Structure 1
Amino acid sequence: MTAYLNDPEIWQESWDRQQEAFMPDREHRFAAMLDAVAAVTEGKPPRLLDLAGGTGTISLRTLARFPGAQVTVLDQDPVLLTIAESTLRDRATIVDADLSDPSWRSKLPQDGFDAVLTATALHWLPAERVSTLYAEIREVLRPGGIFANADHMPEESLPTLSDKLRDHARVKREARYAAGASTSWPDWWARVAADGQLAAKAEERARIYPPKDDHSQEWLPPAVWHVDALRMAGFSEAGVIWRGGTDAAVAGLR
């Protein structure tokens, strides 16, 4: 990583606002996942892996709720990792690793995590990789530890309503962009590229994620697919712990 950013908290706030335009109930899913962490650790400070953690959004909320938590942020995006490292400093371990490569676990400082959490990230991996990844995640958890994934997971029994919910959310999101209430995804990245401290990281990111790929395949199976995949990966229990419209959080216990 390079030297710390001058104003990382501003970039964190900017990222949050941009993400909340997509997911107005974003904080609700984080709270639900951290409630589950509190339950399996009985309120003790957890050892937590923030998987595909980006700017460290989940880590920051974990540290606020559980002072003394040991958190590790793992991601590959050089821009987001720079923001994470600059904000978290010595409060977290930062790991640069590619989840499409099965060797990602070798870069972790430890295993035996109490919890592995991820949000709105794994949908860019193909189905067969997600299934395998779930089994790999299970191996870095302690017995009784929890994994939770919050993402776009429509309810398969409500296809018409799901379409209407997505359309309704899109109209509201576009209205926010038009009014200047939030920055769109492409506009946010354009601001990164124009920033004196982040421009070089943006160039590095473009080499990792070519623009034509845009770091996303948008593979969005229903929640039941994830629950079945978690069970097949060896988790003793798996199910939905939160739902908001066409998004959900699934969890598995080792």
Structure 2
Amino acid sequence: MTPYSLDSVAWDSVAWQESWDRQQEAYLPDREERFAALLDTVAATADGPAPAVLDLAGGTGSISLRVLRRFPYATTTLLDVDPVLMTIARQSLDQRSTVVAADLRSPDWAAGLPRQDYDAVLTATALHWIPRERLGPLYAEIRQVLRPGGVFVNVDTMPDDGLPDLTTKFGDVFRARREARYAAGAVLSWQAWWDHVAADPVLGPLLEQRRQVFADRHDTEWTPPVSWHLDALRTAGFAETGLVWRGARDAAVAGVR
């Protein structure tokens, strides 16, 4: 049996999760702080000890894994479209989780979900890839899969409206720090991480499928200020909206159904 046989990928997925976390932390040194804010919000709004959480654009399962550790009776549904990241997620998560392939750019993305009454919908550092004209309608669709009183939290790059110049300077500082870590070999860059994927006997063959999935997408990030997100959440019909976390350039906006 080779180290990369399907029978042993569950063990190898631990290393891939660690590798993904370290690579992401180069971009987001306060990554665990934002995850803690997500989990605290679930704790504050959960209707009982077994919250049902939708991990939206969940990638390798970073949020789901932390939810399941924090809430032993929780269940999660991870939704994503990336075949490489979802393979890592499937081998990392246990029977309390379901992994669903769906494209958030399509209005029918929620059709394959196992339920439509989640206690919480959580997403982190993902929706900046959703086109401008699509994000507002997506917020309204997310509201529809929450139970009354359920909460949606999106944490992403969301500049403070009153600090545009300082936000830019923060970006310069963080970029210089990240490049220094790359140069010292302290952490893998985004491209270097994917180079490791290409060399892996299990994940590497999925890259062509990944290229097809993303072939018609434009790599254009859209990072509107916090005010835009709060307005969009109110327009989508959320009863309460506001911030549950604030970093230098990033924030977590929440909407309660």
- TM-score bucket (shorter structure): over 0.9
Distance 1:3 1:207 in 2: 24
Distance 1:224 1:27 in 2: 24
Of 182, 186, 208, 2:213 maps to: 208
Provide the residue aligned with 2:254 in structure 1.
251
Secondary structure of 1:167's partner?
A: helix
Of 101, 105, 119, 1:96 maps to: 101
Secondary structure of 1:238's partner?
A: strand
Provide the residue aligned with 2:229 in structure 1.
226
Asked if 1:133 is matched to 2:138, the reply is yes
Provide the residue aligned with 1:197 in structure 2.
202
Deviations 1:7-34 (A, max 9, x none): 0010000000000000000010110111
Deviations 1:161-199 (A, max 9, x none): 111100000000000100111100111111101111101
Do 2:47 and 2:119's aligned partners in 1 also have CA atoms closer than 8 Å? no
**Which TM-score applies when normalising by structure 1?**
0.95
Q: Runs of 4+ in structure 1 displaced over 4 angstroms?
A: none
Do 2:182 and 2:189's aligned partners in 1 also have CA atoms closer than 8 Å? yes
Deviations 1:73-128 (A, max 9, x none): 00000000000000004231000000101111111011100000000001111112
Provide the residue aligned with 2:41 in structure 1.
36
The number of residue pairs the alignment matches comes to 251
Distance 2:128 2:94 in 1: 28
Distance 2:70 2:219 in 1: 31
The residue type paired with residue 54 of structure 1 is G
Asked if 1:180 is matched to 2:185, the reply is yes
Q: CA RMSD in A?
A: 1.5
Of 5, 27, 30, 1:22 maps to: 27
Secondary structure of 2:244's partner?
A: strand
Q: Which runs of 5+ in 2 are unaligned?
A: none
Shift of 1:216: 3.4
Distance 1:43 1:152 in 2: 31
Do 2:61 and 2:89's aligned partners in 1 also have CA atoms closer than 8 Å? yes
- Select between 36-45 and 227-236 the one with higher mean Cα deviation: 36-45
Do 1:51 and 1:74's aligned partners in 2 also have CA atoms closer than 8 Å? yes
Of 53, 57, 66, 1:61 maps to: 66
- Select between 114-123 and 5-14 the one with higher mean Cα deviation: 5-14
Of 112, 117, 139, 1:107 maps to: 112
The residue type paired with residue 237 of structure 1 is E
Distance 2:163 2:247 in 1: 13
The residue type paired with residue 39 of structure 1 is A
Deviations 1:130-175 (A, max 9, x none): 1000000000000000000000111121111111100000000000
Overall identity of the aligned pairs, in %: 59
Of 227, 238, 243, 1:240 maps to: 243
Do 2:125 and 2:156's aligned partners in 1 also have CA atoms closer than 8 Å? yes
Shift of 1:3: 4.0
The residue type paired with residue 136 of structure 2 is S
